Amino acid sequence: MFDNGESAEEILAGMEEIAGALAPDVIGIPMIWLSEEWSRDEITQIWYDLEKICRSYAQSMNWRS
């Protein structure tokens, strides 16, 4: 969980670390709180950056049917 105390860089690094630690067997869902201090452009950018990490994470998972 990221609680608005982290920078965008810290959030992205933390998500990379979490994804690396949990894959391929555990699904983790990030929870991120962003205050009104974040601009629309900053929120949009972190969304796209996190999406890249999450897509890579999903591809590394050991999905079982």
**Mean pLDDT to the nearest integer, 22-43:** 91
CB-based contacts of 6, cutoff 8 Å, min separation 6: 14
User: Which of 10-14, 18-22, 27-31, 56-60 is least confident?
Assistant: 27-31
Domain boundaries, the chain: 8-59
Q: Give the mean pLDDT of 21-50.
A: 93
7 confidence band (pLDDT: 50, 70, 90): very high
Contact 54, 22 (CB under 8 A): no
Q: Could you tell me what percent of the chain has a pLDDT over 90?
A: 72
Q: How confident is the model at residue 65 (pLDDT cuts 50, 70, 90)?
A: low
Average pLDDT of every residue of the chain = 92
